[in-house]
Structure 1
Amino acid sequence: MDQDNKKRFMERIEEKSENLPWYVVEYIDKRKRILSPASLLNYCHDYIIFFDWLIAEGFVKGTRKDVPLEVLEKLTRQQVEDFLSFLEFKLHNSDLTVNRKLSALKSLFHYLQNIAETSELEPYLYRNVMAKMELNNIKEDQETIANRMEGKILRGDEYELFRQFVAYDYGVQNQENKKLYNFHQKNCERDTAIVSLILGSGLRLSEVIGLDVDDIDFKKFTVRVIRKGNKEQFVYFSEQAMLDLKEYIAIRTERYQLEKNFKALFVAAPMGPKGTTRRLTARSVEKLVEKYATAFGKPALSVHKLRHSFATRYQMENNDIPKLRRQLGHTSVQTTMIYTHLTNTELQDAVKKMDQREKDE
């Protein structure tokens, strides 16, 4: 993540923190060296939901900033269960999302009990109810996840067909609609470069939008990214991605009316009275992929599924989990192992052969 983008994240974190209790602000400040700005911002959102719930349930009168430590210390397991039920049934959060928010609270309460201390060297909390709470048991195994993912990714010829669709066919398909056609003509090189880069590297959405022009090394076919945990890594990308990136960069400055020192790689068209150009946002990339995917006839395809598509293809052609794990930036090898299920066609072929033998007999 470049310094400008990081600065924007930190400004939003400070803005959210202003309305949280002092001990939460202290915790967030202490975690800035460890957690990425994106993770810290997510934590802020999670804490806002939690403290708003405490106020709505009558645990304290006033604002979020008024919630004292004593309220947290006296929370019971049942009350926390009620909050988790609120997340699931009122906010319609999935088990994974509930787990993430519970993990954020566990981290905060752990800090208050085991790390923070008063001037008298006493902990902020003596009792930590969150330590008693268990995360949801996600029942899906890797093969179930792989099977569910199977129909939502690109396979075989679809990789190049989708790239070609973004680059050319979408415009041809919408020639009669001047607005759509002109918008595609203006942005087709950029959009193709984005799709091609993800399909040719497996980068995360946050990593793509955080790229600067100087992060690309065309000689080594690598891109510099800041991965989870603020770790710098140089990730390889495909030759096709390189060609599409070069084509985009060749028109980027003039097409988007950029100053020569404008760092962001992927940018939005100038908007507003002053015609200000800005870095493309995550939501903008999500929307453009959704647009092309729907028109392509594969509406379930998303930015994340493009990453999965790369990983599936890589594992199919290389069968090397350790290298794929590094390429994707996975912390756990178990996450990467999903792709062994996606690419394991031998079992299916064996079953088909058994069926054929039965018919022959």
Structure 2
Amino acid sequence: MSQEHDYHRLVEKVKELPWYVEEFIDHKRRRMSSSTLLNYCHDYIIFIDWLRTEGFYQGNRSECPMSVLETLTPKHIESFLSHLELQLGNTKRTVNRKISSLKALFHFLQNIAETDELEPYIYRNVLAKIDFNNVKETMETVANRIEGKILHNDEYEQFRQFVAADYGEQHQDNKKMYHFHQKNRERDTALVSLLLGSGLRLSEVVNLDVDDVDFKKHSVRVIRKGGKEQFVYFSEQAMVDLDEYLRIRKDRYRLPKNEKSLFVSTAIGPRKTSRRLSNRAVEKLIEKYAVAFGKPALTVHKLRHSFATRYHMENNDVPKLKKHLGHSSVQTTMIYTHMTDKEMKRAIDHMDRMDSESDE
């Protein structure tokens, strides 16, 4: 399966950053996926732009000298972190991820990279003095937070049916929205059905090629975190919806014979060309349907949670679920046992109420 899309985006994004960041990205490329490194690049762009705004450096983003990094104090970094949280609206968990990105870069510059004279690129690493935000949560707390934002029971098929038909009926009076839905409903239904029927990550779905789908085995070939290849099974309904989409895919989207991407965009531009749906395009697609469906908190990742919760309820096999989701730690998978425990309690409470009513 090709990840050329993320790779080319990474190549372009690195051009916006200083030479030493490019060297760091090259150092990490063997061990980290292009999508992860893209996130690093976005974090570094935000950081360097903040340095420019605050007057630490004046000039082009790509020319920010490494010497600026050694002038920063812990107070400066704390000010940047406050900017992330208060001005940009990042959660403490998101801020921690950006701290991790910066720590990785500064560690590389101080402890791994060397000049021709065998000296470190920087001697002073201010990020080594910065602690992560304390955002520890119990698995039950995480489960409770997620539980209200996912699909339950009949909502799985209701949401799929909404994407397949009801959304169009809801917008019949808006010709533009109605026709756009009619053109893309097979694609969108197949996408939602695959997410709900497999629990794939956003990047895994976006990077799928047509040749990655095995209809006989009901599985798709994906590259998981860390570059590991895995065949992930999907549901019978997802197979039906994928088959319907593939029947119209080539002609509907005017695709050349060599177009491998499974999920493609509507033909746009003067040449009316289609291309692989991007991460952001899929996120916006799900957001559009979620809002119209009445569950605006529903996201691609929440569809993954929905699948995992349903899988555990029906199979109660944590090791298999861990493998299916591609989790590196069973502790992550255990979140779904807490979510289903709550559902079980609700069911028992309902039974208690029914018993008391029958006794009256």
- Indicate the residue corresponding to 1:170 in structure 2: 167
1:231 aligns with 2:228: yes
SS at match of 1:269: coil
Counterpart-to-counterpart distance in 1, 2:22 and 2:298? 38
Q: Which amino acid aligns with 2:4?
A: D
Query: SS state of the match for residue 76, structure 2?
Result: helix
Asked if the contact 1:12/1:41 (under 8 Å) is kept, the reply is: no
- 1:12 equivalent to 2:12? Answer yes
TM-score (norm 1): 0.91
Closer/same/farther in 2, CA of residues 93 and 110 from structure 1, 3 Å limit: same
> Residues 3 and 339 of structure 1: is their aligned pair in 2 closer, same or farther, counting only changes over 3 Å?
closer
Aligned pairs for 1:62-101 (under 5 A) are: 62-101=59-98
Aligned residue identity for 1:118: T
**Is 1:338 matched with 2:335?**
yes
Q: 2:99 aligns with which of 102, 109, 116?
A: 102
Q: CA deviation at 1:7?
A: 4.1
8 A Cα contact 2:309 2:336, kept in partner:
yes
Is this contact kept in 1: 2:198–2:307, CA < 8 A?
yes
CA distance in 1, matches of 2:180, 2:63: 49
Q: CA separation in 2, counterparts of 1:56 and 1:175? A: 47
CA distance in 2, matches of 1:353, 1:160: 25
Asked whether the equivalents of residues 102 and 135 of structure 1 are also in contact (C-alpha less than 8 Å), the reply is yes
Q: Does 1:187 align with 2:218?
A: no
- In 1, the alpha carbon distance for the partners of 2:237 and 2:213 equals 14
Counterpart Cα distance in 2 of 1:348 and 1:333:
25
Q: How does 1:322-337 map to 2 (within 5 A)?
A: 322-337=319-334
Residue pair 1:330, 1:336 contacting (<8 A) in 2 also: yes
* C-alpha distance in 2 between matches for 1:288 and 1:357: 44
> Could you tell me how far 1:296 is from its partner in structure 2?
2.2
For 1:25-59, what per-residue CA distance to the aligned partner results, in whole angstroms no more than 9, with x for missing partners?
21112111122111212211211222222233333
Paired residues for 1:187-226 under 5 Å? 187-226=184-223
| Cα offset, 1:333, TM superposition | 2.2
Post-superposition CA distance 1:2-41 (Å, at most 9, x none): 2531442233233323xx2x22221112111122111212
Structure 1: runs of 5 or more not aligned:
none
Structure 1, residues 225-262: CA drift from partner, whole Å, max 9, x if none?
A: 12222222211111111111111111111111112221
The number of residues matched between the two structures is 358
Partner of 2:296: 299
Q: 1:323 to 1:57 in 2, by over 3 A?
A: same
CA distance in 1, matches of 2:41, 2:181: 37
Which residue of structure 2 aligns with residue 240 of structure 1? 237
Structure 2 CA distance for aligned equivalents of residues 44 and 113 of structure 1: 19
